[in-house]
């Protein structure tokens, strides 16, 4: 399924855990158009077919290509480098958070997280990109 309504904010979620996929799809799907992929390679292929999201949420550790690798790929691309990325991870080391932010991620949220906090962070990132 590809994105359809151009008025709705489109979010790609990269997450390999089925339970987390369901939670994010249910919670975010109430307000956004959400596409879920199990790894960054699938999400990138979807985008290369012309499906441009307004924002990407990626788990740090997915098979094949996780959040850090996806962030690095997107930020190296002239075509995709302006898409904001929020990393979700069970890893809360400052070192990894800094690494992701320096690679170009716009935010980093540690699992488990409050869905309302994720929503608030998404609004901040989306507000920031709409001003530029």
Q: Do the domain assignments include residue 38?
A: yes
More confident residue, 129 or 115: 115
pLDDT in tens, 82-103: 999 999 999 999 999 999 999 9
With 0-12 / 13-18 / 19 or more C-beta atoms within 10 angstroms meaning exposed / middle / buried, residue 23 is middle
The encoded tokens of residue 15 equal 């997450």
Q: What is the pLDDT of residue 129?
A: 78
Q: What is the pLDDT of residue 44?
A: 96
Q: Do the domain assignments include residue 5?
A: no
pTM: 0.93
Nearest to 70 by CA among 34, 94, 46: 46
Q: Do the domain assignments include residue 53?
A: yes
Task: Give the CATH number for residue 76.
Answer: 3.40.50.2300
| Average pLDDT value for residue range 106-130 | 92
pLDDT above 90 (res 74): yes
């Amino acid at each position: 399924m590809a994105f359809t309504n151009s008025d709705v904010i489109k979010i790609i979620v990269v997450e390999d855990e089925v339970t987390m996929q369901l939670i994010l799809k249910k919670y975010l799907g109430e307000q956004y158009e959400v596409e879920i992929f199990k790894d960054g390679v699938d999400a990138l292929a979807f985008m290369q077919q012309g499906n441009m999201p307004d924002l990407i949420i990626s788990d740090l550790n997915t098979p094949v290509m996780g959040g850090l690798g996806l962030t690095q790929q997107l930020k190296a691309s002239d075509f995709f480098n302006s898409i904001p990325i929020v990393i979700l991870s069970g890893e809360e080391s400052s070192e990894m958070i800094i690494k992701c932010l320096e690679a170009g991620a716009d935010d980093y949220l540690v699992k488990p997280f409050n869905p309302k906090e994720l929503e608030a962070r998404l609004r901040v990132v989306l507000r920031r990109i709409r001003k530029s």
